[in-house]
Amino acid sequence: MANFIDVHVGRRLRRRRRLLGLTQQGLGEQVGIRFQQIQKYECAANRISASRLFDLSEALHVPVQYFYEGLHGEEAANDSGCLPDDVLARRETMELVRAYYALDEGPRRRLLELAKAMSGANSPAA
């Protein structure tokens, strides 16, 4: 059974890799390991050593502490109406984020306002 910290770190690894549009193969090549090892890290089948975590942080352009962010407040965040962790790990979400940031500032603001209006986020009750 995987430790909850290993699961959290694996999810953060997957999220960042997908956000950057990297495959497991591509990330593995950058840090000198096979894609199967990246798979094992992401599903917490294997723990990530300190030196490997450092290599991954360099390849993903984040500080090492990125992998631990939200660890203590994870349950509280989910109770406060924040998005569940798995939503940010979905391919569809990452595609949407990439497409959103590919837009110029004006269309990006209009799209955000449209999404808020459609979800009811601009209503007084929200």
Domain boundaries, the chain: 4-83, 90-126
Q: How far apart are CA 117 and CA 95, in angstroms?
A: 21
Q: How far apart are CA 47 and CA 9, in angstroms?
A: 9
pLDDT in tens, 4-31: 999 999 999 999 999 898 999 999 999 9
DSSP state of 84: P
Structure tokens belonging to residue 34: 């096979």
pLDDT confidence of residue 125? 47
pLDDT in tens, 27-59: 999 999 999 999 999 999 999 999 999 999 999
- Rounded to two decimals, what is the model's pTM? 0.64
Q: How far apart are CA 109 and CA 82, in angstroms?
A: 21
Q: Which of 22, 63, 21, 24 is nearest to 40 (CA)?
A: 24
Query: Quick one: pLDDT band at residue 75, thresholds 50, 70, 90?
Result: very low
Return the CATH architecture of domain 4-83: Orthogonal Bundle (1.10)
Neighbours of 18 (CB within 10 A): 21
